[in-house]
Structure 1
């Protein structure tokens, strides 16, 4: 029997090299990309998404004549953010990265293709969606659930406006800037005259490690700013409508059955399920929410089983997060 060749992937940052479980995610031996490489020893070069390490990966891979891989945390990552909390899902993109609307990504190309995204996995997709909503699971899962005291008691309608961190690359690469957030807030107020507008700051802004685009917003009779950490699913399920620029909270709101308006170009806009204030001419198909979910969470993401630290699937990660999450039903 012929022994399978173990791939070697060079990475362009120490952060990737030191990422827990990276060799299992990539199914390869991982080494740091030195200045001089022998082409026969390297099968691919990997960097973080559209960051500097990703750009370096493109250059090095081109010189070697091997593929470049672009990495990013998955949509169901861990309990807490940061290096001390190992991630159990990873996106490996061969074209670009999902949050960069300026060029195609593996995810966008998959959604644009004729692939039957739900073929053979209709039941698992439905089950995964149910479990994510039931256990209130998100990328990070340390924030407490929304409480009754977070909301005004006599709202006739509730609209959520999602803030993001200033300088977030997904904002610029989603065709937006600081002015876009002001436009979004004004539209939410004008288009929903009888609603209370809830503005949710980003978790890193809540932790005072970064600033947001709407950080200095002053509350008034129609506007409430939620500055403390809140589990995203518990928040969107209490809203009638959600406005976002490029945040994945917008997609989580779609999963929860809410109407979503996008002022930027996130990966889930342009497929016929969102109210889009910007268009991406490359996105030429209509896709259902279930198809978007299947593409991103099943086909596009690689998972590791947190219990044995071997390759796993979405249900391994859902089960572990549900058991350990501070916002899961298992802790009610």
Structure 2
């Protein structure tokens, strides 16, 4: 299964690399950018929540920190639009990772079900702080980022390939973690945290490191989206719908797998963007999107990737266990007897 997932991921990344060369329409590449950047978010979310079993609905805390970090860096240092802000996207991710250290030290004292509630509460606290710290965040007026000088059909290309580079990094990190002793420790926490602790695993440290890695990618995602839209507002930076969307994408594709969250994000974000463009009625696209998700989750509760692998395994097992027809068995026995008689002769 791991080898098959690696092959699937490689095919997806190659396809994404040539996608803008085949479909160069600005509307299409804009949708593609959001699909890829949400794939980065889902992969980052999966590193913590998928591997440890601690479902986080406060992922936007770190993406919001990344968004405001990039905006404030550009504002304070008078950075012009262009390629330079892309270098500070990684800095925004590192700031989000550092911010996750004290936050994680507090919220990881809780267990799984309480942890979900605490992450939601943390998100709304951050949103309220962003509204009230006007001298720092601009309050409800937000912060404006510098506009890139690119125009026309080329505008989306730097953002798209910047997001694709982040996706390659997220996939690589996720793969390395999954095939390491650290990853085995995270999976042990997911299966039975008390037993993992009894085996000598420092569960608090493992979870905290995973949360910081996950926060890094969330910070880069928030920074990329804010630079693409050129604005940062509290309601958008710390948006609860962002958390729900990322979690659903991971569960849709297969939480805890390598390829699942990426496949889920590419499919669902593309579909959501398409529906929002097609249906002008406010909220109708969300209703259709939510209904489709409900149907899929009921039919494929483990996600697309695990369900497909199980289906393939069942088909192979049934094919291997198919009994040989009696006529074929008799002919085979007669052939063996003829071979023996030939040897004796």
**Shared fold per TM-score greater than 0.5:** no
Q: Which has the higher contact order (CA 8 A, sep 6+)?
A: 2
**Greater fraction of residues in strand:** 1
TM-score normalised by length of structure 1: 0.21
Greater C-alpha Rg = 2
TM-score normalised by length of structure 2: 0.21
**Greater fraction of residues in helix:** 2
